[in-house]
Amino acid sequence: MSWTRENRWRAALVLAGVIFTLAAPGMLELFTIINLSTAIALAILALSLGLIWGYGGILCFGQTAFFGIGAYAYTIAAVNFGGSSWAVLVAILAAAVFAAVLGYFMFYGRVSDVYMAVITLTVTLILYSLLRRTSGPEYKIGDALLGGFNGVTSPPLNLPWAPYMPLFPEHVFYVGMAVLIIGYIICAWLIQTHFGRVAVAIRENELRAELIGYDTRFYKLAMFTIGGAIAGAGGIIFANGVGRVTPDIFNLYNSALAIIWVIVGGRGTLAGPVMGAFALFYLTSWLGTQGVVNNNLVLGLTLIIFVLAVPRGILPTFISWWDGARSRRAMQRRELKVRRKRGRRSSELREAADEK
């Protein structure tokens, strides 16, 4: 990894994250720290989607499926094992395996982008409905009752060497920040490896990547699986932050929310989605404390305005503004692209006509 401009920014960000983590107890109130765990969990989910969608070009509308599977697998395993160390591994593995299986069917089945979005969403909704139907006492995995609609209470994390000494909610904050920062570093490293650059190339032009000999299916699958594993790790933090997992984790609202963080924060960046998650979390959180306007109304309107006015997301827009010259060039590039797209489309049409 070389010290490019981007990497200097990334290093600064990581440093800021570390400083924030260490300074938080002195700066913030206890409840803020505890409540941050949930926001951090969501940010990890956003990061995973930012990776596979922003860099892998895979529009997964069901990233919460892996997040939720991580949370559920963690909870069930922790209840059964009586400690969290194995449960953490089980959770990440379960999420990764599920992503790998789903990804295998989609990528090796050559499913188109639109269908990929809808299939991942559908699978998530299926999980949602299935888990809501497990309230009977017969739905039990080991010692863990699935609890249906009401969900399961998640046992807290513990340190690997002290299985019967659970962490306090405020300590989960540290674990969460560590996962987020390490996850961010992994993602930032990954996109600069040969693997990551091929993934980006596939996002740019899948056919060309194939024509120079890359098996794009494999790369997408690997990316998808890694994303699933990171989301699963986020799920563990989420289960700890909320203290409970319920099927609602898989509902449409949350699935859509994940996409929205990435769009609001900026696709094609890693920090953007993370910021998007934090921003929207605090917006919705704040909305719940004002009793004037209907929350759905405000949130809905905000999103619509966002789509129309800031379609590129906060971070890219900010970077453009920060670096004026760059932004002018980017603008030219966009124009050219559009022009070329038009040209390409008409030549494709010609080609189509050619075949018939």
Partner 1 sequence: MSFDRRTFIKGTSLAGLTLMAPGIIGRAKADDTIRLASILDQSGGLDIYGKPMADATTMAVDEINAAGGLNGKQVELINYDPQSNIQFYTQYATKAAAGDKAHVVHAGITSASREAIRPTLGRFKSLYFYNTQYEGGVCDRNCFCTGSTPAQTVEKLVPYAMNKFGKKVYIIAADYNYGQITAQWVKKYVTDNGGEVADIEFFPLDVTNFGPTIKKIQAAKPDMVWSALVGGAHISFYRQYAAAGMNKSVPIASTTFGVGNEHKLISADEGDGILAAYTYFQEVPGDDNAAFVKRFQDKFGADAPYLNELAARSYEGIQFWAEAVRKAGTADRMPVIEALESGISLAGPSGPISIDPKTHHGVLNVYLAELKDQTFNIVETHNEQPPSDTLLVCDLKANPDQAKFYFENGLEAAGIK
Partner 2 sequence: MKSEIVVETRNLSMHFGGVKAVDRVNFNLRENELRCLIGPNGAGKSTFFKCLTGQLSPTSGDVVIRDFNGTGRLPHQIARLGVGIKTQVPNVFDGLSVSENIWLAARRWHGAARARSLTSQTVERLKLGDIRTDPVGQLAHGQRQWVELGMVVAAEPWLVLLDEPAAGMTHDEIERTVEIIREINQQATMIVVEHDMQFIRMISSKVTVFHEGRILIEDSMDVVTADPRVREVYLGNSAS
Partner 3 sequence: MDLVIALALQIVYGIASLVLISLGLAIIFGMMRVINLAHGEFLMLGGYTVVISTNQGVNIWFAMLVLAPLVVGLIGVLVERLLIQFLYGRMVDTLLATWGLSLLFVGLVTSIFGAQTATTISPPLGAIQIGDYSSSAYELFLIGVTVVLLLLVYAVLKLTKLGLVARATMQSDDMASALGVSTKRIYMITFGLGAAVSGLAGGLLAPVTGVLPSIGATYIAKAFITVISGGASILAGTTAASVLLGGINGIMAFLTGPTLGEVALLAAAIILIRLLPTGITGRFFRKSL
Could you say which of 114, 207, 292, 308 contacts partner 2 (CB under 8 A)? Answer: 207
> Is 256 a binder of partner 2 (CB under 8 A)?
no
Amino acid identity, position 289: T
Q: Which residue has the tokens 């981007």?
A: 6
> Is 162 a binder of partner 3 (CB under 8 A)?
no
Exposed / middle / buried, residue 300 (Cβ in 10 Å: 0-12, 13-18, 19+): exposed
Q: Which does 209 bind (CB under 5 to 8 A by kind): partner 3, partner 1, partner 2, none?
A: partner 2
CA 86 to CA 218: how far, in whole Å?
Answer: 29
Could you say which of 186, 201, 298, 319 contacts partner 2 (CB under 8 A)? Answer: 201
> Is 152 a binder of partner 3 (CB under 8 A)?
no
Please say whether the beta carbons of 69 and 131 come within 8 A.
no
Helix 30-49 to helix 252-265 angle (10° resolution) is: 80
Assigned token pair, 175 = 């674990």
Nearer to partner 1 (CB atom), residue 16 or residue 252: 252
Could you say which of 25, 215, 286, 326 contacts partner 2 (CB under 8 A)? Answer: 215
Q: Classify the C-alpha dihedral 44-47-49-51 as positive or negative.
A: negative
> Is 269 a binder of partner 2 (CB under 8 A)?
no
Which H or E element spans position 245? Answer: strand 244-245
> Is 285 a binder of partner 3 (CB under 8 A)?
no
> Is 112 a binder of partner 3 (CB under 8 A)?
yes
Q: How many chain residues bind partner 3 (CB under 8 A)? A: 48
Could you say which of 157, 263, 270, 314 contacts partner 3 (CB under 8 A)? Answer: 263
DSSP string over 71-124: HHHHHHHHHHHSSSHHHHHHHHHHHHHHHHHHHHHHHHTT--HHHHHHHHHHHH
Q: Of 9-17, 83-91, 169-177, 328-336, which part binds partner 2 (CB under 8 A)?
A: 328-336
Smallest distance, Å, CB 283 to partner 3? 12
Interactions with partner 1, residue window 39-78 (CB under 8 A) = none
Could you say which of 8, 140, 208, 328 contacts partner 2 (CB under 8 A)? Answer: 208
Q: What are phi and psi of 153, to 5 degrees?
A: -75, 130
Interaction site with partner 3 (CB under 8 A): 59, 61, 105-106, 109, 111-115, 117-119, 121-123, 125-126, 128-130, 133, 136, 251-252, 256, 259-260, 263, 293-304, 306-308, 311, 345-346, 349
